[in-house]
């Protein structure tokens, strides 16, 4: 019996049992640990070419799609922001048309990265998420605040491509056609006007590190993130066909815009002053204002498409609560429906929530905060009660819950 055991070999590579760490027995054969590892790698390589059942070439824009189709899809999920939707639809359409066309002749079409400027809660991130859902391409959201210059504590800018790789199951060809949304781009603005005083490793240093990546270059990307796994093999990604969308609130940029507009309106043109909409300076934003805010000219030049998002008014907030496919009230109605309860908001309650959100100046995010404050007690108590099939939120109930929450916060302060 011992002689038989000693003569066992791997059925794949022929390695003897005494030379292998482990020999796994099957019905009519055996396999060593080395062959298991190799088989695992082969399977992974094959699956990478078909992430989620898709081939490498499936991440392309269908030829029948037009910019109007893209905007119509965005309209289903996002209220208002028509200018931003139009700019985004055209930029994305041209980008993928460029990828799908065969470059012939001397004319080479360059990509147009996008920068979105708007107050918090106006829908910058939602726009990027929705456009990626429509195009069905690899998409990742990264936060610019975590990045530092190479060699300092924090993340290197290459890690944003690691997340893009993970989003498409490490399919490099698919990742090279993807979209990266860089949020909070305004937080890496230059801290002072003189770049030579101190080393700005989390501001201007990050902007400089982003330059070649935004323009298009081959980047060695650590698949699992850079500094935690220093021994890993790098993956080379060409960023020439990756569309970068940047977004930021740029808090305080209105003062820079107002200053620029006021200096231009002098003398005989003073009557033009009345034409300026002083309630919404953001609509007049230009690249020069971003430079004055603290973005370096080289970075601004690589983000040629600049558009703004309108601040949300009362009418828009009411529509956000009720109209989109995934409107906030529809989400809460679904939550209550899972408990067998029909939730109804009266029109007065909807208007009250929208008015309060407008006062808090938190944009669409303020709506969720208020809805949570109003519905928390109901969501806590109703699942324990029997016989409740309907729950109505009227103006009195909404006012009571908001007042109770505000009073509690005031006492805590």
Return the minimum-mean-pLDDT range out of 72-86, 180-194, 256-270: 256-270
Return the minimum-mean-pLDDT range out of 42-51, 140-149, 231-240, 357-366: 42-51
> Which residues are within 8 A (CB) of 245 and not within 5 positions of it... i.e. 6 or more apart?
88, 113, 114, 115, 116, 128, 179, 180, 181, 182
The distance between the two most distant Cα atoms of the chain, rounded to a whole number of Å, is: 108
pLDDT value at residue 1: 42
Q: How far apart are CA 292 and CA 41, in angstroms?
A: 51
- Contact (CB, 8 A) for 122 and 310: yes
pLDDT value at residue 332: 94
pLDDT at 172 over 50: yes
Residues 336-352: pLDDT tens digits?
A: 999 899 999 999 999 99
Apex 196 CA angle, 153 and 303, nearest 5: 70
> Which residues are within 8 A (CB) of 196 and not within 5 positions of it... i.e. 6 or more apart?
none
> Which residues are within 8 A (CB) of 324 and not within 5 positions of it... i.e. 6 or more apart?
76, 77, 78, 79, 330
pLDDT at 52 over 60: no
pLDDT at 154 over 80: no
pLDDT value at residue 337: 92
pLDDT at 265 over 50: no
Residues 202-231: pLDDT tens digits?
A: 677 788 888 888 888 888 887 766 555 556
pLDDT value at residue 117: 92
The domains located in the chain, with CATH, are: 2-48 (no CATH), 67-308 (3.40.50.300), 315-412 (1.10.8.60)
pLDDT value at residue 132: 78
Q: Which of 241, 245, 240, 46 is nearest to 129 (CA)?
A: 245
Residues 111-136: pLDDT tens digits?
A: 889 999 988 888 888 888 888 788 77
Question: What is the percent of the chain where pLDDT is above 90?
Answer: 19
């Amino acid at each position: 019996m011992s002689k038989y055991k000693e003569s066992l070999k791997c059925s794949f590579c022929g390695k003897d049992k005494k030379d292998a760490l482990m020999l796994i027995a099957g019905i009519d054969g055996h396999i060593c640990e080395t062959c298991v590892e190799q088989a695992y790698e082969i399977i992974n390589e094959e699956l990478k070419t078909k992430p989620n059942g898709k081939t490498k070439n499936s991440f392309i824009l269908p030829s029948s799609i037009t910019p109007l189709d893209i905007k119509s899809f965005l309209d289903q999920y996002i209220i208002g922001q028509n200018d931003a939707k139009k700019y985004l639809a055209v930029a994305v359409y041209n980008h993928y048309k460029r990828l799908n066309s065969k470059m012939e002749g001397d004319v080479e079409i360059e990509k147009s990265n996008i920068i979105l400027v708007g107050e918090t809660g106006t829908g910058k991130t939602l726009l990027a998420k929705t456009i990626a859902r429509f195009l069905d391409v690899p998409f990742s959201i990264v936060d610019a605040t975590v990045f530092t210059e190479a060699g300092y504590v924090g993340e290197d800018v290459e890690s944003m491509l690691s997340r893009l790789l993970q989003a498409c199951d490490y399919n490099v060809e698919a990742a090279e056609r993807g979209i990266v949304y860089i949020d909070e781009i305004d937080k890496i603005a230059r801290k002072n006007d003189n770049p030579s005083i101190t080393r700005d490793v989390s501001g201007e240093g990050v902007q400089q590190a982003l330059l070649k990546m935004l323009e298009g270059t081959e980047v060695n990307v650590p698949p699992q993130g850079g500094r935690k796994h220093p021994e890993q093999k790098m993956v080379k990604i060409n960023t020439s066909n990756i569309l970068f969308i940047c977004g930021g609130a740029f808090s305080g940029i209105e003062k820079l815009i107002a200053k620029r507009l006021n200096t231009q309106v002098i003398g005989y043109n003073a009557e033009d002053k009345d034409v300026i909409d002083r309630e919404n300076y953001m609509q007049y934003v230009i690249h020069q204002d971003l430079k004055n805010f603290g973005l370096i000219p080289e970075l601004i030049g690589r983000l040629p498409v600049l558009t703004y998002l309108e601040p949300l008014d009362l009418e828009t907030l009411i529509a956000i609560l009720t109209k989109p496919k995934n409107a906030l009230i529809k989400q809460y109605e679904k939550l209550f429906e899972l408990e067998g309860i029909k939730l109804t908001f009266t029109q007065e309650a909807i208007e009250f929530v929208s008015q309060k959100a407008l006062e808090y100046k938190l944009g669409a995010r303020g709506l969720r905060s208020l809805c949570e404050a109003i519905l928390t007690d109901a969501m806590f108590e109703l699942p324990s009660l029997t016989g409740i099939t309907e729950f109505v939120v009227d103006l009195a109930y909404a006012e009571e819950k908001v007042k109770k929450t505000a009073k509690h916060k005031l006492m805590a302060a």
